Structure 1
Amino acid sequence: MTSNYPKASKLELLNFKSISTRTFWITSVAFFLCFFAWFGIVPFMPDVVKDLGLSPEQKWNSIILAVTGTVFARLVIGKLCDKYGPRLCYTWLLMLGAIPVILIGFVQTPLQFLICRLFIGFIGASFVITQVHTSIMFASNIVGTANATSAGWGNLGGGANRLGMPIIAAAVISFGLADEANAWRYSMVIAGVVCFLMGIVYFFFTKDTPAGNFKELKAKGEFVATKKDQVGFKEVLSDYRVWILFFVYAACFGIELTVYGTMDDYLQNTFGLTRSMAGNIVLSFALMNIFARTLGGFFGDMFGKSRGLRGRVLFLSFILALEGVMLSIFSTITYLPLGILFLIAFSLTVQMAEGATFSVVPFINKKAIGSISGIVGAGGNVGAFLAAMLLKSKSAVAEQTAIASNQGMAAEIIEIAQGQASSLAVSSGYFIISMLILLAAVSSLAIKFATEESTDEVEPIRVALADK
């Protein structure tokens, strides 16, 4: 599509007169709420298991379904953004996605719960729209920083629910709206209603581009689709760079999700921490997204300014390799202070790698940012699914062996043996994953750009300098 709309060459966070800044904040808050609602049920799972009588298998299936729904939604939503614009796509995603979030508060059977978890997963596609919208609003000299910062808000929402949801539940109980057993239901309903209202805000207070909405620009003849400009989905799928970034994002965001989901038990089994202390450490790990992902985008932009698009790729490869090294070392540590040090280092590098990935994505094909963002974003969830299955299979076999070996012993001894077996299995799983991350780092070096694509990095810098 052809359009001469001006993109913001600076990220002025307090300049609310700028449509780019307003959109940045609204899409960031919307993304935060989507992830908050997506993972909102996690703090209440013990209550849900007790209330609905979920079996361990059903509990695990609910996690798989939530991730599966997101994969398909991300693949579809990217193409829809290219066609209809991010404003309408986000509006409908927020309003329709709120429905299963609300309905999960009314479920009465395990099957109903599983169905709601599947459809709630669709709201995870908000990541793709967020990246598309910020890519449209900001010029290439700052797009990596803008993308990474807005995305960090979403990941922050996925961790903040550990604090936020229990607070909402406590408020519900204190106002006498529900007892402790049913507070989780009201909390999910409230989260869904807030998402629905955010959809209305998104419709009225954002624009597709700095110059206006897709529909308005097309009506004025300023945003015209030509055969030359159109990029088919098959063309996107045939671009090897898209699939390298799919693998790369699986190796950073996918691994962050998996480590985040398994770290509580690992810290308890390996270092003998209480559940409360382990949970607080993992929460801190998630909250680092507020700045760590932004750093990845910032350094991606910085290397882009100095060394062009190749510089962005080199930084991405470097930070991925560092992520793999940090995880491999962490997997071998049994001394708590040293373990926390390397866990922080891993947290910093994995989130920076996510930001660096989406400092490269907007340059692969600017005529299909939505489709490419959708495929790469889906890679994160595929990575999370495969890594989780690896850890689950290794841990399950080890635990079963430990139980069989200690059959007839006291329950406490069996529990300790089971925990130790799980710790060793997950540790070896983390090491295997770290090797795959290093493979992704090497693979990313294969990303190349044509000469005309590389020149796109230069012009926005000239514009930015002219503004000073």
Structure 2
Amino acid sequence: MSNTSADFKFFSFGDRFKVLHLTWMAFFVSFLVWFNHAPLLVVIQEQLALSDQQIKTLLILNVALTIPARIIVGMLVDSYGPRTIYSVLLAITGGLCLFFSLARSFEALALARFLLGFAGAGFVIGIRMISEWFPARQLGLAEGMYKGLGNIGSAAAAISLPALALWFGGENGWRYATGATGILAFVYAAIYYLSVRDTPAGSTYFKPNKSGGLAVTSKRDFALYLLTNIPMFAAMALLAWKVEALQLISAQVLYCIYAALVVLYLLQCRKLFAINKEVIATPVNELYQYKFKQVMILSLAYAVTFGAELAVVSMLPMFFQNTFAVPVALAGVFGACFAAVDMASCPSGGWISDNFGRKRSLTILLTGAAIGFFIMASIDDSWPIALAVAAMMCSSFFLGSAAGCVFAMVPLIRRSLTGQIAGIVGAYGNIGAVVFLTVFSLVDTSTFFLTIAIGIALAAAASMLMDAPQDTLIEVMPDGSVQRIPVH
């Protein structure tokens, strides 16, 4: 075991730590913009006379585009570099945020929230940036710091924007508050572009030889890649079904959406075949191969960890209020504790992965999270509330730590494809949230927790099939030369 934290000077602002701080702040701003509407929905509903169904639609639309956006942004990052793509993303979302703040109709609000789903793709960009600047022995801790601190953006929105709207005052207070976050995104886009580089001086930024889709290295992996894409389209179909269930679109429109998704999937398969046809025709030397099963297993692990986090945070206050008859404010505090522990545990999971082995750490932490949710499934009003809160917080720790482990491993698969791989894995986090929230809408709370536990247990079993990361990564340069990148 190596001491990875001895020279990890988090409060330093030199070289790679400057990049870490500027990048987690970029993630923070993107999440602040992405969730700037949530704490102001009551005011927005009153000002624009929106129905409850329209508010629910805005919440759905806010996450609908994030799944494909993370895939697209991952490709762009690998091709053009995180510095440029993060700056462009922040500038675009800043403009969309101003559009949202000026909206006078539900249709305009809905379009703005749908397009702002792109802000959620900012997470993928930082994963590639951090992997370029930190050695593998510190990568888990650095990625965990990035994820944990950036996630606070949503909490910052919940705390600050209502107060900011009151400070501006008047019926347009919410407009000024949300618009201010858009201006912040504009300003930070310029700061980020002028303050960072894609790689340390003298380092090579490895780019994929082909763009438009992930390049795999075997026929089997190509088949697995096509299979992995199906849940992404299925999740978007599920979101469309939820919108139709709210009676906001007709059954005919829903069927048209289903047909469009099938056509898009087939077109994507055709594009991916064009990118990988050489691999299908001629086997790749084993020396240059990477195993796509690593991507699949990490995607599953992130679906059940981050997906469970988003789903549980949204329902936990109501669970404590209904189960233990506590006041609304106290139930909210319990829910906030789950989110706070989860965010703080991401760096812990990265550090554990750096020091105790990537594969073993992921399996153990997933197992701990599964046990925690099996225990939570048995909570009822006969439990001491302190014991229920303790079980909830322990489950949250294992959940967040396992998520931190996932992104300690993502950059160690293939350096030139890190953005695309992070996009796939990150998209699965949103897929997990959609699935778990749909389950929650159909079953009681105990069954909901049990479903999460079973999902995490399956991911823990799958993690045992992973291969431990190699000592070096193989990258093939555009000129055909081979470069070995040490990862220890």
Name the TM-score, length of structure 2 as normaliser.
0.77
| Partner of residue 375, structure 1 | 424
Do 1:160 and 1:283's aligned partners in 2 also have CA atoms closer than 8 Å?
no
Q: Once the two structures are superposed, what CA deviation does each residue of 1:291-316 show, in whole Å capped at 9, x if it has no partner?
A: 3110000000001xxxxxxx311111
Distance 2:400 2:471 in 1: 30
Match of 1:418 in 2: none
**Post-superposition shift, 1:12?**
2.3
Find the aligned partners of 1:189 and 1:348 in 2 and give their Cα distance: 35
CA gap 1:226/1:157 in 2 versus in 1, 3 angstroms: closer
Match of residue 391, structure 1, among 420, 440, 443: 440
Q: After superposition, what is the alpha-carbon deviation per residue over 1:347-367, rounded to whole angstroms, capped at 9, x for unaligned?
A: 211111111111111112222
Confirm whether residue 184 of structure 1 aligns to residue 174 of structure 2: yes
CA gap of 1:45–1:450, structure 2 versus 1, over 3 A, is closer
Residue 408 of structure 2 corresponds to 359
- The AA in structure 1 aligned to 2:375 is I
Q: Is the 8 A contact 2:75 2:213 kept in 1?
A: no
Q: Structure 1 128/257 Cα, relative in aligned 2: closer, same or farther at 3 Å? A: same
1:443 to 435, 456, 462: 462
Deviation by residue 1:366-415 (Cα, 9 ceiling, x = unmatched):
22111101100111011111111111233xxxxxxxxxxxxxxxxxxxxx
Q: Paired residue for 1:170?
A: 166
- The match for 2:201 is 211
1:133: Cα distance to partner? 0.5
Cα separation, 2, equivalents of 1:249 and 1:106: 36
Would the alpha carbon gap of residues 48 and 364 (structure 1) be closer, same or farther in structure 2, given more than 3 Å must change?
A: same
Residue 197 in 1 paired to residue 192 in 2?
Answer: no
Q: What CA distance in whole angstroms lies between the structure 2 residues aligned with 1:166 and 1:362?
A: 38
The C-alpha deviation readout for 1:27-68, integer Å capped at 9, x for no partner, is 111111111221121112222222233333322222222212
Pairs within 5 Å for 1:1-400 = 10-18=7-15, 20-173=16-169, 179=170, 181-211=171-201, 233-235=214-216, 238=225, 239-303=292-356, 311-334=357-380, 335=383, 336-394=385-443
Please list every run of 5 or more consecutive structure 1 residues that lacks an aligned counterpart in the other structure: 1-7, 174-178, 304-310, 395-424, 462-468
Alpha carbons 2:199, 2:205 under 8 Å: kept: no
Give the drift of 1:455.
11
CA displacement at 1:318 relative to structure 2: 1.1
State the shift of 1:283 in Å: 2.3
Deviation at 1:260, TM superposition (A): 0.9
CA distance in 2, matches of 1:352, 1:148: 9
For residue 35 of structure 1, give the secondary structure of its aligned residue in structure 2: helix
In the alignment, structure 2 segments of 5+ residues that lack a partner are 226-291, 476-483
C-alpha offsets along residues 313-347 of structure 1, whole Å, 9 cap, x if unaligned?
A: 11111111111211221232123221111111122
- Alpha-carbon spacing, 1:131–1:117, altered in 2? closer, same or farther (3 Å): same
- Local SS of the residue matching 2:216: helix
Is the contact made by 1:101 and 1:192 (CA closer than 8 Å) also made in structure 2? yes
1:204 match: secondary structure: helix
CA change 1:226–1:258 in 2 (3 A) is closer
Q: Which amino acid aligns with 1:123?
A: A
Residues 425-446 of structure 1: per-residue CA shift (max 9 Å, x gap): 1232121121111111111111
Aligned equivalents of 1:230 and 1:186: distance in 2? 40
Looking at structure 2, the residues matched to 225 and 107 of structure 1 have their Cα atoms a distance apart, in angstroms, of 40
Change (3 A) 1:355 1:196: same
CA contact (8 A) 1:325 1:434 kept: yes
Structure 1 residues 56 and 434 mapped into 2: Cα distance closer, same or farther (>3 Å)? farther
Q: Is the 8 A contact 2:206 2:416 kept in 1?
A: no
Cα offset, 1:273, TM superposition: 2.3
CA distance in 1, matches of 2:145, 2:469: 28
Change (3 A) 1:364 1:271: same
Name the amino acid aligned to 2:301.
V
Q: Does 1:426 align with 2:445?
A: yes
Q: Indicate the larger mover: 185-194 or 425-434.
A: 425-434
The answer to whether the 8 A contact 1:77-1:129 is kept is: yes
Give the number of equivalent residue pairs.
401
For the Cα contact (< 8 Å) 2:305–2:403, is it kept in 1? yes
Letter in 2 for 1:137: W
Q: 2:211, 2:106 → 1: CA distance?
A: 45
SS in 1 for 2:25: helix
Q: Closer, same or farther in 2 for the Cα pair 1:373/1:189, shift >3 Å?
A: same
- Return closer, same or farther for 1:459/1:242 CA change in 2, 3 Å cut-off: closer
Q: What letter matches 2:449 in structure 1?
A: Y
For 1:184-224, what per-residue CA distance to the aligned partner results, in whole angstroms no more than 9, with x for missing partners?
Answer: 22211111111111100011001000127xxxx8xxxx667
Residue 230 of structure 1 and its aligned partner are, at CA, apart by 9.1
CA distance in 2, matches of 1:267, 1:281: 8
Q: 1:225 to 1:135 in 2, by over 3 A?
A: closer
Moved more, 43-52 or 258-267: 43-52
Separation in 2, partners of 1:182, 1:393: 38
CA distance in 2, matches of 1:76, 1:230: 11
2:216 partner letter: E
